């Protein structure tokens, strides 16, 4: 949860006047999105989300994110559509920060994951991958192997503060993944952060995907592995094979997976678990006083990592070969 | 800013089904209100605010607050109106907490206070006082003199951590106020916390008052003194006589002030400054780790307190006798 920036009255009015969306009726900071400041904006024409990009998002990446949402929305993916100002610009500036207005999506993200959620997410992820194939831009995954190495170096000396032996385990894991990582899987635009709080539902139907600020160009199956981690473990830590089976089979119904992609899933899931373990560990060790965000438990992802390390065959995920 | 409670999907659906407001389309935690968890609720019938009352609000006070908002709204005061469930109850339970739905007010609270805001607030405060005269319930001000004494006792031993000599200054101030406090001024329902973030505007017009969770029965002029503190000091700390003059004259145009009320204003403003100084000091000294609320600076109110202590005559506020 995060609202970092307080917007002045006159600044907001002047900013909104550059759009064709009517006058502002209300503007409330909302407790969604950890990286940016988000406001629910009510205008004479309806509801919108106003986002101010705070320092964790690189300004040079913003044109990619904005163009991607625009592209996906036009391809029929239910996602926020950037609203252009009268001068045609979707990315502008407010309070000294890059800022954008996107359309508001109805729906709520599920707090308790049920199997049907996983089925819907699998299908939506595959459709997202297909819709992105005609997108011309690309963006390196800065939280891929190279990024994990940088995070490991930044955390290694203090990792054992969180759990004894953690630094050594991370070192060995990283080395194993660097040696075995599959580098030639089908790739394209991936969401890279499709956790439950980024997926909205209305009743049992998926109504939209949000938060494309980790989207990048990488292996499609890695995105699926991220979803296995994010959607298929129960709160107590046990792996729910029914959910994984539904997630993957719904994906495959929209976009078939090759034998190489399926065979790589345990390794990709290890890598994905390591990615979230490392970013959470970094945030845990670098808490800033007065921050409004409670850091998430890194050890949740150590447990997931160990689970995947123990998987010899993708069939253990409930996946048909 | 505060969202303390995460509401489960099924719980929310079941809760909303007891009302006649249509199905839920969205529900977002909003960064307003420090004491409670607030959600902007979108339903098929429009926008509402859902509030979960967290532990700082006493459950036994809730019927007073709910009935007061109901009464004021029916008297024409622009304020949130409690929405009754099909069984007639406005105060219910969600996630093990007392909960209520109120109507959504358009408008935004002003970030930069201009003189016209003060004029509008003065008039609205007087109308609120008049509308409350026909309200049958009453509630003791637990942050009046007795409350200040309790807060002082709780903070005294550590007050000098914030500023050297603060404990002694608070002791003397409290003693002086206990001796001189006016006890027979015209009284009734007061808001008791009418800070800028509790007053919404659309352009130059006041569109509503919110957050009645400190409302109580006390001297009307004390409420006005709270507004003098909340609205008439510039961010750098200097007192803006133009704003005070507008605030008080607009109040008097709606509800005349007696000579006793005017004469008491410097003392009431001292007391009001002490009240916010003490609650902020208490919060400052009792920060809980992981809290999502940044405590406000208590010393802002020490400076205001000293300013009022130096006022011999209400004319110094720009007020005509």
Q: Answer yes or no: do B193 and B293 share one domain.
A: yes
Q: What CATH number should be reported for the domain holding residue A156? A: 3.90.1200.10
Q: Does residue A50 have a pLDDT over 90?
A: yes
Q: Answer yes or no: do A144 and A253 share one domain.
A: yes
- A173: distance to nearest CA of chain B, Å? 31
Q: Answer yes or no: do B71 and B128 share one domain.
A: no
Under 8 Å between Cβ of A21 and B21: no
Element (H, E) at A299: helix A299-309
CA angle B115, B120, B121 (to 5 degrees): 95
| pLDDT at residue A73, rounded to an integer | 97
**Is A1 within 8 Å of B290 when comparing Cβ atoms?**
no
B226 band by pLDDT with thresholds 50, 70 and 90: very high
- Nearest Cα to Cα of residue B214 among B195, B234, B186: B195
Q: Does residue B223 have a pLDDT over 90?
A: yes
d(CA A137, CA A215): 11
Give chain A positions within 8 Å (CB) of B6.
Answer: 111
- Examine the predicted complex and report whether its ipTM is higher than 0.90: no
- Nearest Cα to Cα of residue A125 among A219, A3, A37: A219
Q: Does residue B285 have a pLDDT over 50?
A: yes
Under 8 Å between Cβ of A33 and A211: yes
A155 band by pLDDT with thresholds 50, 70 and 90: very high
Q: How many CB pairs under 8 A join A and B?
A: 80
Residue with tokens 């006493």: B58
What are the pLDDT digits (tens) for A202-255? 989 999 999 999 999 999 999 999 999 999 999 999 999 999 999 999 999 999
Q: Answer yes or no: do B89 and B229 share one domain.
A: no
Asked if residue B311 is part of any domain, the answer here is: yes
B3 band by pLDDT with thresholds 50, 70 and 90: low
**Is B294 within 8 Å of A292 when comparing Cβ atoms?**
yes
Q: Answer yes or no: do A167 and A301 share one domain.
A: yes
Give chain B positions within 8 Å (CB) of A34.
Answer: none
- A112: distance to nearest CA of chain B, Å? 7
Share of chain A above pLDDT 90, in %: 86
| pLDDT at residue A1, rounded to an integer | 38
Q: What is the mean pLDDT of residues B292-312?
A: 89
Among the partner-chain residues A3, A10, A110, the one whose CB lies closest to the CB of B9 is A110
| pLDDT at residue A34, rounded to an integer | 64
Under 8 Å between Cβ of A41 and A27: yes
B103, B137, B171: which is the final residue of a domain?
Answer: B103
**Separation of CA B71 from chain center:** 18
Among the partner-chain residues A26, A29, A31, the one whose CB lies closest to the CB of B106 is A26
Asked if residue A92 is part of any domain, the answer here is: yes
Is the dihedral angle over the CA atoms A276, A278, A279, A284 positive or is it negative? positive
Q: Answer yes or no: do B153 and B237 share one domain.
A: yes
Asked if residue B189 is part of any domain, the answer here is: yes
Regarding beta strands A199-202 and A92-94, do their DSSP bridges make them parallel or antiparallel, or are they unpaired?
A: unpaired
Under 8 Å between Cβ of B85 and B18: yes
| pLDDT at residue A5, rounded to an integer | 78
| pLDDT at residue A319, rounded to an integer | 87
Q: Within 13 A of A63's CA, how many CA atoms are on the CB side?
A: 5
Under 8 Å between Cβ of B139 and B216: yes
| pLDDT at residue A25, rounded to an integer | 93
Q: Which residues of A touch B (CB under 8 A)?
A: 1, 3, 6-10, 12, 24-32, 40, 42, 47, 104, 106-108, 110-112, 200, 202, 290, 292, 294
Asked if residue A109 is part of any domain, the answer here is: no
| pLDDT at residue B292, rounded to an integer | 54
**Is A25 within 8 Å of B110 when comparing Cβ atoms?**
no
Long-range contacts of B145-154 (CB under 8 A, 24+ apart): B145/B177, B145/B178, B145/B181, B145/B271, B147/B275, B148/B174, B148/B177, B148/B271, B148/B274, B148/B275, B148/B278, B149/B174, B149/B178, B151/B278, B151/B279, B151/B281, B151/B282, B152/B278, B154/B282
Q: Answer yes or no: do A95 and A128 share one domain.
A: no
Q: Does residue B290 have a pLDDT over 70?
A: no
In this structure, of A24-33, A231-240, B183-192, the range with the lowest mean pLDDT score is: A24-33
Nearest CA in chain A to B111: A8
C-alpha distance from residue A1 to each of A35, A97, A167, A293, A314 (Å)? 9, 19, 29, 6, 35
Under 8 Å between Cβ of B238 and B88: no
d(CA A178, CA A172): 10
What are the pLDDT digits (tens) for A61-120? 999 999 999 999 999 999 999 999 999 999 999 999 999 999 999 999 999 999 999 999
Asked if residue B2 is part of any domain, the answer here is: no
Nearest CA in chain B to A288: B290
Q: Answer yes or no: do B50 and B168 share one domain.
A: no
Share of chain A above pLDDT 70, in %: 96
Q: Answer yes or no: do A140 and A201 share one domain.
A: yes
**Is A10 within 8 Å of B112 when comparing Cβ atoms?**
yes
Q: What is the mean pLDDT of residues B207-235?
A: 97
Asked if residue A221 is part of any domain, the answer here is: yes
Q: Answer yes or no: do A73 and A201 share one domain.
A: no
Nearest CA in chain B to A111: B8
Element (H, E) at B188: strand B187-190
- Say how many domains are in chain A: 2
| pLDDT at residue B54, rounded to an integer | 86
Asked if residue A1 is part of any domain, the answer here is: no
Q: What CATH number should be reported for the domain holding residue A24? A: 3.30.200.20
Q: Answer yes or no: do A269 and A232 share one domain.
A: yes
- Nearest Cα to Cα of residue B174 among B137, B149, B199, B207: B149
Asked if residue B304 is part of any domain, the answer here is: yes
Mean pLDDT of chain A: 93
Phi, psi of B189 (to 5 degrees): -75, 125
Q: Does residue A23 have a pLDDT over 70?
A: yes
| pLDDT at residue B35, rounded to an integer | 74
What are the pLDDT digits (tens) for A222-235? 999 999 999 999 99
Ramachandran region, residue B237 (left: φ > 0; alpha: ψ -120 to 50; beta: rest): left
Under 8 Å between Cβ of A79 and A208: yes
In this structure, of A242-246, A294-298, B3-7, B315-319, the range with the lowest mean pLDDT score is: B3-7
**Is A108 within 8 Å of B9 when comparing Cβ atoms?**
yes
Helix axes B115-131, B220-231, angle to 10 degrees: 160
- B294: distance to nearest CA of chain A, Å? 6
| pLDDT at residue A33, rounded to an integer | 66
B9 band by pLDDT with thresholds 50, 70 and 90: confident
In this structure, of A4-8, B211-215, B245-249, the range with the lowest mean pLDDT score is: A4-8
d(CA B62, CA B84): 14
Domain that residue A78 falls in:
9-103
Among the partner-chain residues A8, A31, A292, the one whose CB lies closest to the CB of B29 is A31
């Amino acid at each position: 949860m995060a609202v970092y920036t307080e917007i002045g009255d006159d600044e907001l009015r002047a900013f909104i006047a550059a759009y064709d969306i009517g006058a502002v009726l209300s503007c409330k900071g909302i407790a969604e999105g950890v990286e940016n400041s988000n406001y629910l904006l009510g205008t004479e024409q309806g509801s919108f989300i106003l986002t101010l990009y705070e320092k964790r998002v690189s300004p040079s990446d913003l044109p990619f994110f904005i163009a991607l949402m625009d592209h996906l929305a036009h391809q029929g993916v239910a996602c926020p559509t950037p609203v252009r100002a009268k001068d045609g610009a979707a990315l502008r500036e407010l309070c000294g920060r890059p800022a954008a207005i996107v359309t508001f999506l109805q729906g709520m993200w599920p707090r308790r994951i049920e199997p049907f959620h996983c089925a819907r997410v699998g299908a939506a992820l595959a459709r997202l991958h297909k819709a992105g194939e005609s997108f011309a831009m690309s963006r390196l995954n800065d939280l891929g192997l190279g990024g994990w190495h940088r995070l490991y170096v930044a955390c290694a000396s203090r990792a054992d503060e969180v759990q004894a032996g953690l630094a050594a385990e991370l070192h060995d894991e990283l080395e194993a993944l660097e040696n075995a990582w599959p580098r030639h899987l089908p790739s394209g635009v991936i969401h890279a952060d499709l956790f439950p709080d980024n997926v909205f539902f209305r009743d049992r139907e998926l109504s939209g995907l949000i938060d494309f600020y980790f989207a990048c160009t990488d292996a499609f199956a890695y995105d699926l592995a991220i979803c296995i981690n994010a959607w298929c473990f129960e709160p107590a830590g046990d792996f729910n094979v029914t959910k994984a089976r539904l997630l993957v089979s719904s994906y495959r119904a929209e976009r078939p997976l090759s034998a190489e992609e399926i065979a790589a899933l345990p390794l990709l899931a290890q890598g994905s678990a390591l990615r979230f373990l490392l970013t959470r560990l970094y945030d845990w060790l670098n808490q800033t006083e007065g921050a409004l965000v409670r850091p998430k438990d890194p050890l949740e992802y150590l447990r997931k990592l160990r689970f995947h390390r123990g998987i010899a065959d993708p069939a253990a995920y409930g996946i048909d070969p």
